[in-house]
């Protein structure tokens, strides 16, 4: 199971980014850019034939400084 991730709105991340930028000695736009990460997880079920069927789904995360949030939405795994 993935570790718990704090859920924050875009506005909250924008505020955190501004605070982090002020606190950094090296104030460059490159270091303030959000990083994106993804993982693939599998949801598995027993089917009627006694077999296990697994379906992959992707989770996408964004990190700004030390703050991370999941940005996966309903269109990601369609």
Strand order in the sheet with 67-70: 35-46, 52-64, 67-70
**CA separation for the pair 63, 67 (Å, rounded):** 6
Identify the domain containing residue 56 by its residue range. Answer: 27-78
53 domain residue, yes or no:
yes
Query: Residue 63: which pLDDT band, with cuts at 50, 70 and 90?
Result: confident
Q: Within a domain: residue 74? A: yes
Residue 20 domain-assigned (yes or no): no
Distance between CA atoms of residues 67 and 7, nearest Å? 10
48-61 mean pLDDT: 89
Question: Would you call 45 helix, strand, or coil by DSSP?
Answer: strand
28 has pLDDT over 50: no
pTM of the model: 0.47
Domain count, the chain: 1
């Amino acid at each position: 199971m993935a570790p718990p991730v704090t859920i924050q709105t875009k506005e909250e991340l924008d505020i955190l980014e501004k605070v982090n930028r002020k606190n950094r000695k090296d104030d460059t736009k490159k270091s303030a850019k959000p990083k994106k990460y993804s993982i693939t997880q599998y949801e598995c079920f027993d089917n009627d034939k006694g077999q296990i069927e697994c379906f992959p789904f992707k989770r996408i995360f964004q990190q700004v400084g030390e703050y991370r949030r999941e940005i996966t939405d309903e269109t990601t795994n369609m």
